């Protein structure tokens, strides 16, 4: 651990000792990289701006992630800025690189701050990084006035819903918890949070048993349907074996008979079907009809 800290101090010192570049030197190095892909020029341009990376990374140290990792991600953003920089636009490299450095660090924080992904939109990202500052400012302005809705004020400032603010505030107020973490301090035999999660889905053996029973009942029904006449079968299918059952009146119009006659045929078909099932499968027939 001491070696890592020593390397970090050496790196920071080297960055702080790197010479500043004049506007002309900065432009010349950027041109060498853009036109000739001179990697030494890109390295010198990046090295001269590492203090900028460190300064920006320090602004995000309160998110609890290692400072070395923040600096490393900022360095990635700095190199990306160097690769994309257009020296002929008359803009200082530090101004251009600041956006890339900050964006790279922020993306790293959003990926690693919590196991739950957050900040998937630009508004959510702005809320994540500005919530604490806005809450402190609005709380100070409210000066103890309980009628002021802090969450609504933050929502209006960032452009998100009040529910989004409340959810993000709750997430920032607590750390991630493992479902395997014990509820007590005992090292052995401790109850875990996972033990209190209720799964309402059926057990695997119940699922398999239900699938087998369903297939068996379908075979029994198909076999029993063979005892019906064509008209009885058509009426029963239209009335009982489709998602949208036909009405007695509609079937009567289709078959050219009265709806009362359709009802009688349907009743007779059900009785015949029940008898066939009782004869062939007496244990299960009553549960199917």
3-state secondary structure of 146: coil
282/271 Cα distance (integer angstroms): 15
**Under CATH, which number does the domain 2-112 receive?**
1.20.120.1810
Predicted pLDDT at 258: 92
* Token couple for 99: 């956006």
Q: Mean pLDDT, to the nearest integer, of 164-187?
A: 67
269 against 195, higher pLDDT: 269
- Domain ranges (residues) in the chain: 2-112, 122-173, 204-288
174 against 215, higher pLDDT: 215
Which residue, chain included where needed, has tokens 């970090």? Answer: 8
pLDDT per position as a tens digit, 207-261: 877 788 788 778 888 888 888 888 888 888 888 888 888 898 988 888 889 989 9
Q: Mean pLDDT, to the nearest integer, of 67-82?
A: 92
DSSP symbol at 245 = P
Is the pLDDT at 57 greater than 90? The verdict is yes
Q: Which residues, at least 6 apart from 138, have a Cβ–Cβ distance to it below 8 Å?
A: 148, 150, 153, 154
Predicted pLDDT at 286: 46
Q: Mean pLDDT, to the nearest integer, of 93-118?
A: 83
165/151 Cα distance (integer angstroms): 6
Predicted pLDDT at 28: 92
Is the pLDDT at 7 greater than 60? The verdict is no
* Token couple for 77: 């953003």
Q: Is the separation of the CB atoms in 143 and 104 below 8 Å? A: no
**Cβ neighbour number for residue 33 with a 10 Å cutoff:** 22
**Alpha helix (H) residue ranges in the chain:** 2-17, 23-36, 39-47, 50-58, 67-84, 93-112, 122-142, 150-158, 162-173, 204-224, 230-240, 248-255, 259-280, 285-288
- What mean pLDDT value characterizes the chain? 80
Highest average pLDDT, of 1-5, 161-165, 257-261, comes from: 257-261
Confidence of residue 53 (pLDDT cuts 50, 70, 90): very high
Is the pLDDT at 118 greater than 60? The verdict is no
Backbone angles phi, psi at 192, to 5 degrees: -100, 160
Q: Is the separation of the CB atoms in 191 and 183 below 8 Å? A: yes
Instruction: Name beta bridge partners: 171.
Output: none
CATH fold of 204-288 reads Arc Repressor Mutant, subunit A (1.10.10)
223/241 Cα distance (integer angstroms): 15
Q: For 46-68, give one letter per residue: b (16+ CB within 10 A) or e.
A: bebbbbbbbebbeebeebebeee
pTM above 0.85, yes or no: no
Query: What angle do helix axes 23-36 and 67-84 make, rounded to 10 degrees?
Result: 70
Report the share of the chain in percent with pLDDT over 90.
Answer: 19
Instruction: Name beta bridge partners: 127.
Output: none
**Cβ neighbour number for residue 115 with a 10 Å cutoff:** 8
């Amino acid at each position: 651990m001491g070696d890592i800290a020593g390397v970090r101090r050496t790196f920071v010192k080297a960055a702080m000792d790197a010479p500043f570049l004049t506007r002309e030197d900065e432009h010349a190095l950027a041109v060498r990289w853009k036109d000739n892909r001179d990697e030494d020029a890109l390295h010198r341009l990046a090295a001269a701006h590492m203090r900028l990376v460190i300064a920006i990374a320090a602004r995000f140290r309160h998110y609890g992630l290692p400072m070395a990792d923040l600096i490393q991600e900022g360095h990635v953003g700095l190199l990306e800025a160097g690769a994309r920089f257009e020296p002929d636009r008359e803009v200082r490299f530090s101004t251009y690189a600041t956006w890339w450095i900050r964006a790279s660090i922020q993306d790293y924080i959003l990926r690693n701050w919590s196991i739950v992904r957050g900040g998937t939109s630009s508004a959510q990202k702005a809320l994540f990084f500005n919530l604490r500052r806005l809450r402190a400012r609005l709380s100070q302005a409210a000066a103890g006035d309980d009628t002021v809705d802090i969450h609504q004020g933050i929502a209006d400032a960032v452009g998100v819903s009040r529910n989004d603010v409340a959810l993000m505030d709750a997430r920032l107020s607590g750390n991630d918890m493992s479902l395997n973490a014990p509820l007590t301090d005992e090292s052995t035999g401790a109850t875990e949070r996972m033990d209190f999660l209720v799964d309402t889905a059926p057990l695997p053996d119940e699922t398999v048993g239900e699938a087998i029973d369903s297939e068996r009942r379908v075979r029994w029904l198909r076999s029993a349907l063979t005892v019906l006449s064509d008209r009885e079968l058509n009426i029963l299918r239209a009335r009982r074996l489709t998602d949208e059952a036909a009405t007695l009146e509609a079937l009567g119009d289709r078959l050219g008979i009265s709806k009362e006659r359709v009802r009688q045929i349907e009743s007779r078909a059900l009785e015949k079907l029940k008898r066939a099932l009782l004869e062939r499968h007496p244990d299960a027939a009553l549960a199917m009809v």
